[in-house]
């Protein structure tokens, strides 16, 4: 399956990586995070229907699903699975205002 990671999702991943690396001074956790995100994306690419649907008002995000990043319980991947492949929309921490971020950010699809 063709996988596309939106620039916003790439920035989310990089932001969280930097957080572990710089703020927490946890090189091993930063590396584990990247590996866990990659594994989660591979999982949903193989089985895109397994994620939980996220209901939003924005029509562009109809069909959006979410899947946890194993080992990082507050982190979730938000993705769409149209017929032409998988699109990773965002990778966000659950303490953020996820609904608002997703509703407002519809660029670069």
Residue 66 lies in a domain: yes
Domain hosting residue 84, numbered range: 3-104
Three-class DSSP category at 108: coil
Q: How many structural domains compose the chain?
A: 1
Q: Supply the CATH number for residue 74's domain.
A: 3.30.2310.20
pLDDT at residue 69 greater than cutoff 70: yes
Place of tokens 């507050």: 74
Average pLDDT, the chain: 91
Residue 109 lies inside a defined structural domain of this protein: no
Residue reference for tokens 């899947």: 67
Q: What angle do CA 78, 88, 1 make, to 5 degrees?
A: 125
User: pTM for the whole thing?
Assistant: 0.90
Residues 15, 101 contacting (CB under 8 angstroms): no
SS3 content of the chain, % helix, strand, coil (to 5): 45, 25, 30
pLDDT tens column, 74-103: 999 999 998 889 999 999 998 888 888 888
Q: Does the pLDDT of residue 11 top 60, yes or no?
A: yes
Is there a domain that residue 25 lies in? yes
Whether 12 has a pLDDT exceeding 80, the answer reads yes
What pLDDT, on a 0 to 100 scale, did the predictor assign at position 106?
61
Please check whether residue 74 lies inside any domain of the structure: yes
């Amino acid at each position: 399956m063709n996988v596309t990671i939106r620039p916003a999702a790439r920035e989310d991943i990089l932001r969280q990586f930097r957080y572990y690396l710089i703020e927490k001074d946890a090189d091993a956790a930063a590396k584990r995070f990247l590996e866990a995100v990659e594994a989660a994306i591979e999982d949903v690419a193989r089985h895109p229907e397994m994620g939980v649907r996220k209901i939003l008002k924005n029509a562009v995000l109809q069909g959006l699903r979410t899947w946890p990043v194993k080992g990082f319980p507050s982190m979730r991947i938000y993705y769409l699975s149209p017929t032409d492949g998988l699109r990773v929309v965002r990778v966000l921490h659950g303490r953020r205002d996820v609904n608002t971020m997703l509703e407002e950010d519809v660029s670069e699809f």
